[in-house]
Amino acid sequence: RKGADCFISGEFHYHDYFENDGMLLAELGHYQSEKFTVELLAGLISAGCPGLTVVKTSLNTNPICYDAR
């Protein structure tokens, strides 16, 4: 709303699509938008806190299974 052309989120509510003042809304999906941030955040935390041990999750908690038959 401060001059942006697009709002990217992992999740929107139904009414967000009607109350966006014409801004493009890009809904990536909650899991999909977080999937790649584990590596990014682990790197940033490791770089910013060299003495800290960073343990990344190995779980895949996406409850949705896509079938592309």
Render pLDDT for 10-67 as a digit per residue (tens, 0 to 9): 888 888 888 877 788 888 877 877 777 888 889 999 999 999 999 988 877 777 777 7
Total-model pTM: 0.50
Nearest to 17 by CA among 8, 7, 28, 25: 25
pLDDT of residue 18: 85
Residue 1: what pLDDT? Answer: 58
Q: Where are the beta strands (DSSP E) in 1-69?
A: 6-9, 24-27
**Among 13, 40, 44, 39, which residue's Cα sits nearest to residue 27?**
13
Residue 49 is predicted with a pLDDT of: 93
pLDDT at 45: 94
In DSSP notation, 46-60 reads: HHH-TTSPP------
